[in-house]
Structure 1
Amino acid sequence: MPSTESEVLGVRECLSLLRSVAVGRLVFSAAALPAIRPVTFTIAAGFVVIPDARGSWADKLDRTVVAFEADQIDEATHTGWSVVAVGKAELVGDLDEDVTSMRGRALKVNIERVTGRRLVPVAA
């Protein structure tokens, strides 16, 4: 198994990496237990925007603090990255053109804090 170590990522790199993938995980509390839901998303104007947020799970998240995680891992080399954004979620109808071109109901998460780590090979 390849040996790796963890590097802390800066905010700019975290946001850039989030923009490089289309699927992430929304992390929230449901019935006092942790819950994770895979979602499609986009990053726009300091927000994680999750389109077509429908259903009772989305209704319960309006004005709550949630976490959002996305990553990319190479199973063969055991390298990759993970970024976590934390902030307050808000259900919105049609989004402003300056935020995104998406239409319809969405969950918008204000990115209040973002952290990330990269797994890199250990130099021999």
Structure 2
Amino acid sequence: MTGQRDDHRMLGRDACLSLLRSVDVGRVAWAADDGEVTVVPVNFALAGEDVVFRTAAGGKLDAVRSGRTISFEADDLEPALRAGWSVLAVGHAELTAEPDPAAGHRPVSWDRRPKPYLIRLRLERVSGFRLPLHGGGVSIERRNEP
């Protein structure tokens, strides 16, 4: 549902998916049994309304295989203009077959290490917001630490 909240313009699912198609890096997050949350960047693509990304053996693959809820976030910011957007999605992931190269949704990893597993994250909930140009933005205070 699209609405207003302060200077954030809330976005509906279709707008969120459209924005996700405009970038190729996002972050995948999951919680372990002990409650520790891991967040890692991934190169991704959309296959219909699903996020697909490659991975090697390790934490991401373990989280997928154990059926954990996975969060995915991507954004695009223009700090000088105090504008941008952010999309957050939540769902469950599975190992999937290689997509048809003609389908145009193969994630291309910036990391050249082998990533033999292709993951499909089925987006069950999607939300997002846009900070409009000159909409007040967010004030970020920077501190110089010794």
**TM-score band, normalised by shorter chain:** 0.7 to 0.9
User: Match for residue 65 of structure 1?
Assistant: 69
Matches within 5 A, 1:15-26: 15-26=17-28
Matches within 5 A, 1:37-56: 37-51=40-54, 53-56=55-58
Any unmatched runs of 5+ in structure 1? Answer: none
Q: For the aligned residues, what is the CA RMSD? A: 2.2
User: Match for residue 6 of structure 1?
Assistant: 8
**2: distance between equivalents of 1:72 and 1:78?**
11
1:74-118 CA deviation, whole Å, 9 max, x = no partner? 1112110000111001123x3242684569421110011110000
Tell me the TM-score normalised to structure 1 length.
0.84
Percent of pairs with identical residues = 35
Q: Which amino acid aligns with 2:127?
A: T
Equivalent of 2:39 in 36, 40, 65: 36
Equivalent of 1:110 in 99, 122, 128: 122
Tell me the TM-score normalised to structure 2 length.
0.72
Aligned structure 1 segments of 4 or more residues deviating by more than 3 angstroms: 98-104
Any unmatched runs of 5+ in structure 2? Answer: 1-5, 108-114, 137-146
- Structure richer in strand, relative to its length: 1
Paired residues in the alignment total 118
Distance apart, 1:40 and its partner CA: 0.1
1:35-93 CA deviation, whole Å, 9 max, x = no partner? 11000000012210012x1121122122221110000011112110000111001123x
